[in-house]
Amino acid sequence: MNKKAIAVISFGTTYPKARLAIERIENSLKEAFPEYDFYRAFTSKMVINKIEREENIKILTPEQLMQKLLDDGYEEVLCQSLHIMAGFEYEKMLHQLFKFEDKFKKLSIGVPMLFSEYDYEHICSELMEHMPKLGQDEAYIYMGHGTEHFANSVYSQVENMFRYLGAENVYVGTVEGFPNLDYVIKRLNKHNIKKVTLAPFMIVAGDHAQNDLAGDEEDSWKSILQSQGYETNVNLIGLGDLDCVCDLYCRHAKMALER
């Protein structure tokens, strides 16, 4: 009898409460693939080391996990990425997994959250269902992580998809890329926005969401927008807490098995 495992691989987070969003997606995948034994891996060594140091919890890298599964006699492995885009962390994961592609009877890899046009339309339309009805002087602002990788273009595509679906006052900025907060503020000024709601466009509401987005320090997005006269609300819910995101990752995992 073939031993089968599902490896759910994410960047990870050092915030225990934020980690619940990852667990929610993991549980959805467990339910979708009951015949597979479940395993977790993180791609961020910084996160892995901090969790082990502060919580005494050992989480494996994708490469370490693949070696463990091989040693334990698994023949079929399904790996599902919980990354948002096919950027540096996703490529790092692939580099580690490809070392084992000829060592298992079957190794399947699910794509990240935003990969096809369907993914963008599905996520944006579902997120619109969770937004309050916006007045003409109100806007909803998502903060993404951002990256120097060319996959950073996903954030502009997300905003354009919102517009395509009729959500004109939804904007997307990033902490470490473009579009940034300056871009968002220019959009707010152009459309005479007075009131904004801030939310993370990230799987978990971790460090960036707690500090860069909603922190009380003067350089957080909330503080900067308040200093410029905007009435500001915050919705600190990670994308992993939403059913639509869990469903999408399950879809990607099923598609990976069919390829």
CATH at residue 77: 3.40.50.1400
State residue 136's pLDDT score: 94
126 and 166 assigned to the same domain? yes
Tokens of 136: 């003409």
Residue 212: predicted pLDDT: 92
Same domain, 156 and 71: no
Q: Following CA atoms 180, 129, 229, 18 in sequence, which dihedral angle do they give, to the nearest 10 degrees?
A: -60
In whole angstroms, give the CA distance from residue 229 to residue 148.
31
Task: List the catalytic residue out of 145, 149, 191, 252.
Answer: 145
* Same domain flag for 229 and 135: yes
Host domain of residue 129: 117-240
Note whether 132 and 54 are same-domain residues: no
Q: In what order do the strands lie in the sheet with 106-110?
A: 37-42, 4-10, 76-81, 106-110
- Is 145 in the active site? yes
Count: domains in the chain: 2
Verify that 74 and 32 share a domain, yes or no: yes
Question: Are residues 98 and 18 part of one domain?
Answer: yes
pLDDT per residue, tens digit, the chain (259 aa), is: 789 999 999 999 998 888 999 999 999 999 999 999 999 999 999 999 999 999 999 999 999 999 999 999 999 999 999 999 999 999 999 999 999 999 999 999 999 999 999 999 999 999 999 898 899 999 999 999 999 999 999 999 999 999 999 999 999 999 999 999 999 999 999 999 999 999 999 999 888 888 999 988 999 999 999 999 999 999 999 999 999 999 999 999 999 999 8
Same structural domain, 56 and 103: yes
Cα(256)–Cα(247) distance, integer angstroms = 14
235 lies in the same domain as 123: yes
**Residue 17 pLDDT:** 87
pLDDT score of 205: 87
* pLDDT value of residue 67: 98
| Bridge partners for 214 per DSSP | none
Q: Among 34, 47, 6, which residue's Cα sits nearest to residue 203? A: 47
Same domain, residue pair 189 and 219: yes
Do residue 190 and residue 77 come from a single domain? no
Same domain for 123 and 28: no
Does pTM surpass 0.85?
A: yes
Angle made by CA atoms 99, 104, 109, in degrees to the nearest 5: 70
pLDDT at 144: 96
Same domain (yes/no): 43, 109: yes
